[in-house]
Structure 1
Amino acid sequence: MLFCGINPGLMSAWTGHHFARPGNRFWPALHASGFTPRRFAPAEQAQLLGLGLGVTNVAARATARADELSTEELVEGGRLLAAKVAEHRPAWLAVLGVTAYRVAFADRHAQVGPQPRALGATRIWALPSPSGLNAHWTPAALAEEFARLRTAAFDLPEQAG
């Protein structure tokens, strides 16, 4: 599973760790959904590899807000991400930010959830952005969507809520 954020925030660029801003909900959602046995800190991101998980970004340029990226940066990032997926061949690509996914992959009708397209054998799932700025997705709803992906990816039976 390759999780793909939109781009590094300023705190992530400064620390060198993905989803490093304290208000970012990626790490709590990853744990609450069952992907990790405990809540990891951003500085522990390398430990995800041992769980079969990886983290990257669509665009490399750090910004305070993802909406500061240009369409061109997202499209080029989508091209580079497709090449990265072709090289590493994860079973799943989870793009964290459906709006960025729509732009990067020219799919203006994409919704959160599994996508009909694939990159070779890699299936794609669009997740909501875990940024604290995406407040209409509560922490519980984020964890639930991450759990839907986990269930699909590992062919697990649905859990009763």
Structure 2
Amino acid sequence: MAKANVKTVEKAVEKVVNLPAGEKIERDGGEVTALDAASIRLVMQGWEIRKKIDELDAQLKSINAQLIEAHGAGASLVVHGVCRASIAEREAVKITNAERLKAVLGFRFTDLVKTEIAYKPEAKLIEMAADGDEPMAPSIRECLTVGKSASVTWRAEK
């Protein structure tokens, strides 16, 4: 038994010796201390997992793009007993020229546009831009862009 314990200790020492150095840097004060072997191993394991997640995320984005192109939005792809991939499309209207839109709308700008860090059109403004009878519609449309995006949501299928 003593020989088995000696070999276990030797292997543990060998693993510690082969680990790269590591340090802990305190954000407040900048104090630097050496990392223990267990923490170094955990950081390295975490990094390996993070890299795998990034690789898998890239693969999933590619698969999602292929499914969107092949089947379009508004479809659910079901593999019975395994999973369901639901494809949805979103549309967003963004204000591209807020100053011009302010000039076009005048005092109505504040009630037709929600003001945050970015300008976002209210539903009524989008209606006005799409309304063929609205005299300001062409000028309003020049200040807006419409963007679309599609996504795939994954769920287990019973």
TM-score surpassing 0.5? Answer: no
After TM superposition, the score normalised by the length of structure 1 is: 0.20
Structure number, greater radius of gyration: 2
After TM superposition, the score normalised by the length of structure 2 is: 0.20
Highest RCO, 1 vs 2 (Cα 8 Å, sep ≥ 6)? 1
Higher helix share: 2
Higher strand share: 2
